[in-house]
């Protein structure tokens, strides 16, 4: 995939309904006419076999790499080598893949139902946000980032800058505000 010049999309998560992989597969099937993408699907779970069958049914199995559970060293390699991190969660209190992708300067597409994305992504500035289950909006975002290297690059650079601002000093200041809101720091 790396040497073929394809845009590499990454889904990393447990293969369970609330993670939204089926919605991602549906959205990807709607951009099958865009020739230069592949999706790495990292994770395992009760929906694994069903998602493989769904990719076959949708006609995108040749573009989907079901990698199963990956240890941290391989996960890190996948994250570093993907260009777009997609977090289509229907419900997720945090979603660490958003943070990891942003820290590495990746273009991140996520739902507003993912806590980390809702907290850290400013839509169109440092990533792309959409309402969970809105497959048509996700499809449009995927088409745009696959076709537009400049968009991917701009969003990724901005994401890295945002992540750099989340250091220990900022965290201490926030904790102080939460612990003693009446005191002026």
Check pLDDT > 80 for residue 184.
no
Return d(Cα 11, Cα 24) in angstroms, integer.
Answer: 9
**Tens digit of each residue's pLDDT (9 = 90 or more) over 77-117:** 999 999 999 999 999 999 999 999 999 999 999 999 999 99
CB 137 within 8 A of CB 130: yes
Check pLDDT > 90 for residue 177.
no
* β-bridge mates for residue 10, sequence order: 40, 85
**Tens digit of each residue's pLDDT (9 = 90 or more) over 110-141:** 999 999 999 999 999 999 999 999 999 999 99
CB burial class (10 A; 0-12, 13-18, 19+) of residue 140? middle
For CA atoms 93, 86, 31, 65, the dihedral sign is negative
pTM of the predicted structure, to 2 decimals: 0.92
Q: What is the mean pLDDT of the chain?
A: 95
Check pLDDT > 70 for residue 172.
yes
Q: Which of 133, 123, 130, 81 is nearest to 104 (CA)?
A: 81
pLDDT band at 145 (very low <50, low <70, confident <90, very high): very high
The pLDDT score that the predictor gives to residue 43 is 98
CB burial class (10 A; 0-12, 13-18, 19+) of residue 108? buried
The pLDDT score that the predictor gives to residue 84 is 98
Helices (H) and strands (E) in the chain, counts: 8, 6
The pLDDT score that the predictor gives to residue 85 is 98
Return d(Cα 157, Cα 88) in angstroms, integer.
Answer: 21
For CA atoms 153, 6, 23, 90, the dihedral sign is negative
The pLDDT score that the predictor gives to residue 122 is 97
pLDDT band at 58 (very low <50, low <70, confident <90, very high): very high
Check pLDDT > 90 for residue 74.
yes
């Amino acid at each position: 995939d790396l040497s073929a010049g394809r845009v590499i999309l990454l889904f990393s998560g447990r293969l369970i309904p609330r993670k939204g992989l089926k919605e991602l597969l549906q959205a990807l099937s709607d951009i099958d006419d865009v020739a230069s993408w592949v999706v790495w699907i990292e994770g395992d779970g009760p929906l694994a076999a069903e998602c493989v069958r769904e990719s076959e049914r949708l006609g995108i199995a040749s573009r989907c790499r079901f990698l199963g559970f990956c240890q941290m060293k391989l996960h890190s390699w996948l994250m570093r080598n993907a260009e777009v991190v997609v977090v289509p969660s229907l419900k997720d209190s945090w979603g660490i893949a958003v943070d990891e992708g942003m820290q590495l300067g990746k273009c991140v597409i996520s739902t507003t139902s993912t806590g980390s994305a809702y907290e850290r992504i400013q839509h169109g500035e440092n990533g792309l946000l959409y309402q969970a289950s809105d497959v048509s909006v996700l499809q449009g975002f995927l088409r745009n980032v696959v076709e537009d290297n400049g968009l991917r690059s701009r969003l990724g650079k901005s994401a890295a800058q945002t992540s750099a601002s989340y250091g220990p000093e900022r965290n201490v200041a926030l904790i102080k505000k939460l612990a003693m809101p009446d005191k002026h720091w």
